[in-house]
Amino acid sequence: SQKIEQNSEALNIQEGKTATLTCNYTNYSPAYLQWYRQDPGRGPVFLLLIRENEKEKRKERLKVTFDTTLKQSLFHITASQPADSATYLCALEDYGQNFVFGPGTRLSVLP
């Protein structure tokens, strides 16, 4: 069956460090993968999209990698700040051309 997993339900890191979140998928062959940020009680907000032919994508302090052989995407936040504390979701398109989300990782950046 198709499945999306994100490395851990919760991740705590110290301010200034790099946070690394993992998204693994099975039985998908996505042409691209997306990352979203969700704050409590609010809808997810799009952050980055990476295509299957791109190894890496950057946006300010964010970096995403995509390894279609490993079926994995890594999401990095460098120089993390308490304001980066949120839940981060990965998303991709399934075989029915539907949009599916991973369960999310709740990141807490401690001052």
Partner 1 sequence: EAQVTQNPRYLITVTGKKLTVTCSQNMNHEYMSWYRQDPGLGLRQIYYSMNVEVTDKGDVPEGYKVSRKEKRNFPLILESPSPNQTSLYFCASSPRTGALNTEAFFGQGTRLTVV
Q: Which residues bind partner 1 (CB under 8 A)?
A: 9, 31-32, 34, 36, 41-46, 49, 51, 89, 91, 93, 96-104
How many beta carbons lie within 10 A of that of residue 47, not counting itself?
16
> Closest approach of Cβ 56 to partner 1, in Å?
17
> Closest approach of Cβ 14 to partner 1, in Å?
26
Q: Closer to partner 1 at the Cβ: 6 or 80?
A: 6
CA 105 vs CA 11, 20, 22, 109: distances in Å:
7, 10, 9, 13
Q: Closer to partner 1 at the Cβ: 71 or 101?
A: 101
Up-side HSE of residue 44: CA atoms within 13 Å toward CB?
19
> Closest approach of Cβ 103 to partner 1, in Å?
4
Q: Closer to partner 1 at the Cβ: 42 or 111?
A: 42
84: three-class secondary structure by DSSP: helix
